[in-house]
A = this chain, B = another copy of it.
């Protein structure tokens, strides 16, 4: 039977844990023999959206391109996992309309925790004013209004969040439970 294609669209602040969860999800999909592609923000900016900046218009364009590609991957039966920061509700809603089988995962995490983690040292620069238009600091982050899945990444380990996401994808009918190997 052919796998049903879908898109898992992570959203959340920088440092909330989106990339880590995208990686864990992709690894679990591989273990289940489900083919997926991770559309990571940095990778996409290198390939598809070179030259775009971080203004609202450029960020919208960046998200539209990710949605365009994720839509294709879903339609041919693959799984697209996107882990760019999609700060604007408008862009996410447009993506939802264009992509069949769209699963929005909100990685919820207080900004204070993200600032403490600051894995790329970006918050410290943004707070000093060295980076403009930084989501959560000098650019708004619009919380999703009705995501399919919410994980609280400050209250559970990435592995716990990942198991929860997989379980939800099974409940939503996008993934079958893994085959039991006979003992």
A interface vs B, CB < 8 Å? 2-3, 5, 35-37, 47-48, 50-51, 61, 64-65, 68-69, 72-73, 75-79
Contact = CB atoms under 8 A, between A and B. Distances in A.
A48 B50 CA distance: 10
Please state the number of chain copies in the assembly.
Answer: 2
**Most chain B C-beta atoms within 10 Å of own C-beta, residue among A61, A72, A77, A78:** A72
A78 B29 CA distance: 17
A154 B40 CA distance: 44
A72 B2 contact: no
B3 A72 contact: no
A77 B47 contact: no
Contact of A36 (B2, B3, B47, B76): B76
27 contacts: A2-B2, A3-B77, A5-B76, A35-B76, A36-B76, A37-B72, A37-B75, A37-B76, A47-B64, A47-B65, A48-B48, A48-B65, A48-B68, A51-B51, A69-B69, A69-B72, A72-B72, A72-B73, A72-B78, A73-B73, A73-B76, A73-B78, A76-B76, A76-B78, A76-B79, A77-B77, A78-B78
